[in-house]
């Protein structure tokens, strides 16, 4: 059976892109697979985080995952910093990955902006820690949104080079799982940039914590064009904002864009936006309520993370031990 690993950063608000691109797929995969879901607090500090904000966001993201349907009894839910094997393996991978490979990472370029030399070293080696997250468990399948694809290709490259250099088959091949109509949810204000926690305009995204009125207001204000909805999705190349709203509707309704347009083709956007707002509120409302309920008991959330971390350590420890032996580090008791 394949082992699933995925991660999410506790920075700022979770939004509809996180939910449709990742979290909802994680919930589905739980039925047929063993899964590890990690709140990646060590990745978060590659950009500055106020300690109190990071602390609160780690609990909030954990509560959101549980509210969305992640089951911490059947699967493993934990925060990264409680499992030292991630950082240990990341160091090994820093010595396997090549500077040229990291130089190609588009997300570093985006996040570092114009002042690359002022970015943290952690931001630069972010993808090697991500590779370590997955490979510390020899996980094989990684459900993510489209934006993480390049990082996963790098993780595959690192695993292959490690296996080659040390003449071993220690690490398995990885398979990204990018599926559904919501793999790349775009900003509500600009159809050419993705919906993101770091966008300065809150109107660009629907947060998982937004109430019904806010969701309705943001969708009503979302950018579109003056034309009615088309009959088929092919025309969306020239109408990115319209295409984005239809993709969001399809993902929320668990239908294809073609099915949505079969129903809505020819309609005007005002009616469609109203239906979309109702659908989004219907999906997010119960998650929001459950999240608030869970957040009222932070000690229970910490206990979930603590238990998850213990189980994660048990799995990761022998893998890192195997890596250390392979590399040639002296270990007591090892031959
Ligand atoms: P993060 O925290 O930015 O996002 C969490 C997940 O949400 C997806 N996502 C989106 N999907 C569709 N449309 C969007 N607009 C959108 N925005 C975000 C992301 O693709 C992701 O799946 N580096 C990762 C976290 C990570 C990780 C890992 C993931 C750390 N280690 C190991 C997989 C395996 C990140 O920053 O995700």
Read off the CATH number of the domain in which 287 is found. Answer: 1.10.240.10
Ligand 1 pocket mutation, candidates 58, 126, 148, 158, criterion most atoms within 8 A of CB: 148
- Cα(9) to ligand 1 centroid in Å equals 7
Q: What is the CATH number of the domain that holds 159?
A: 3.40.50.620
Q: Are residues 246 and 144 in the same domain?
A: no
Q: What is the pLDDT of residue 237?
A: 85
Mean pLDDT of 103-119: 93
pLDDT band for position 1 (50/70/90)?
low
Q: Are residues 268 and 309 in the same domain?
A: no
d(CA 238, CA 257): 16
190 domain residue, yes or no: no
193 domain residue, yes or no: no
pLDDT band for position 294 (50/70/90)?
very high
Q: Among the atoms of ligand 1, which is closest to the Cα of residue 148?
A: 20
Number of domains in the chain: 2
**260-290 in b/e burial notation, b at 16+ Cβ within 10 A?**
bbeebeeeebeebbebbbebbbebbeebbeb
- Cα(147) to ligand 1 centroid in Å equals 7
> CA 113, 117, 119, 125 torsion: positive or negative?
positive
Closest residue by Cα to atom 7, ligand 1, is: 18
The whole model's pTM is what?
0.97
Q: Are residues 149 and 240 in the same domain?
A: no
Q: Are residues 118 and 258 in the same domain?
A: no
- Residue 140's domain spans which residues? 3-178+298-327
pLDDT band for position 28 (50/70/90)?
very high
- Cα(146) to ligand 1 centroid in Å equals 8
Q: Who has greater pLDDT, 129 or 116?
A: 129
Q: Among the atoms of ligand 1, which is closest to the Cα of residue 5?
A: 34
Q: What is the pLDDT of residue 12?
A: 80
- Cα(265) to ligand 1 centroid in Å equals 32
Mean pLDDT of the chain: 96
187 domain residue, yes or no: no
pLDDT band for position 333 (50/70/90)?
confident
**Is 128's C-beta closer than 6 angstroms to any atom of ligand 1?**
no
**103-116 in b/e burial notation, b at 16+ Cβ within 10 A?**
eebeebeeebeeee
Q: What is the pLDDT of residue 288?
A: 94
Q: What is the pLDDT of residue 291?
A: 95
Q: Are residues 54 and 98 in the same domain?
A: yes
307 domain residue, yes or no: yes
Beta strands 141-143 and 76-79: pairing type?
unpaired
pLDDT band for position 71 (50/70/90)?
very high
pLDDT greater than 90 at residue 140: yes
Residue for token pair 């925060």:
79
Q: What is the pLDDT of residues 42-60, one digit of tens each?
A: 999 999 999 999 999 999 9
10 domain residue, yes or no: yes
Q: Among the atoms of ligand 1, which is closest to the Cα of residue 130?
A: 31
Q: Are residues 106 and 246 in the same domain?
A: no
Closest residue by Cα to atom 31, ligand 1, is: 130
Active site residues: 111, 194, 197
Mean pLDDT of 150-172: 98
188 domain residue, yes or no: no
**Is 97's C-beta closer than 6 angstroms to any atom of ligand 1?**
no
183 domain residue, yes or no: no
Q: Are residues 306 and 219 in the same domain?
A: no
Q: Are residues 48 and 169 in the same domain?
A: yes
Q: Are residues 79 and 66 in the same domain?
A: yes
**Is 142's C-beta closer than 6 angstroms to any atom of ligand 1?**
yes
Full 3-state SS string of 208-219:
CCCCHHHHHHHH
Q: Are residues 130 and 275 in the same domain?
A: no
Residue % of the chain over a pLDDT of 70: 99
Q: Are residues 170 and 79 in the same domain?
A: yes
Closest residue by Cα to atom 20, ligand 1, is: 145
195 domain residue, yes or no: no
Q: Are residues 138 and 92 in the same domain?
A: yes
Q: Among the atoms of ligand 1, which is closest to the Cα of residue 146?
A: 20
- Cα(319) to ligand 1 centroid in Å equals 24
């Amino acid at each position: 059976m394949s082992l699933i690993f995925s991660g999410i950063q506790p920075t700022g608000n979770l939004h509809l892109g996180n939910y449709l691109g990742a979290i909802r797929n994680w919930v589905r995969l739980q039925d047929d697979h063993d899964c590890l879901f990690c709140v990646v607090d060590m990745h978060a500090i590659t950009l500055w985080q106020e300690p109190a904000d990071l602390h609160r966001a780690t609990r909030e993201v954990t509560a959101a995952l549980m509210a969305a349907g992640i089951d911490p009894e059947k699967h493993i839910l934990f925060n990264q910093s409680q499992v030292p094997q991630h950082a240990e393996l990341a160091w090994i991978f820093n010595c396997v990955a090549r500077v040229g490979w990291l130089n190609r990472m588009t997300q570093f370029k985006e996040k570092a902006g114009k002042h690359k030399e002022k970015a943290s070293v952690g931001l630069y080696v972010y993808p090697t820690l991500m590779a370590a997250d997955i490979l510390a468990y020899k996980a094989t399948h990684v459900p993510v949104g489209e934006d993480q694809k390049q990082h996963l290709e790098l993780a595959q490259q690192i695993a292959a080079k490690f296996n080659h250099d040390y003449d071993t088959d220690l690490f398995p091949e990885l398979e990204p799982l990018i599926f559904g109509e919501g793999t790349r949810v775009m900003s509500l204000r600009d159809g050419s940039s993705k919906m993101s926690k770091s966008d300065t305009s809150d109107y660009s995204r629907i947060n998982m914590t937004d109430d019904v009125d806010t969701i309705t207001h943001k969708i009503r204000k979302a950018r579109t064009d003056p034309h009615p909805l088309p009959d088929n999705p092919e025309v969306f190349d020239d109408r990115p904002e319209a295409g984005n709203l239809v993709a969001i509707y399809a993902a929320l309704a668990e239908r294809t864009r073609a099915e949505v347009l079969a129903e809505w083709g020819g309609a005007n956007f005002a009616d469609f936006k109203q239906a979309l707002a109702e659908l989004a509120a219907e999906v997010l409302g119960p998650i929001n309520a459950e999240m608030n309920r869970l957040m009222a008991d932070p000690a229970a959330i910490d206990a979930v993370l603590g238990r998850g971390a213990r189980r994660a350590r048990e799995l990761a420890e022998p893998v890192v031990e195997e890596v250390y032996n392979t590399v040639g580090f002296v270990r007591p008791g090892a031959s």
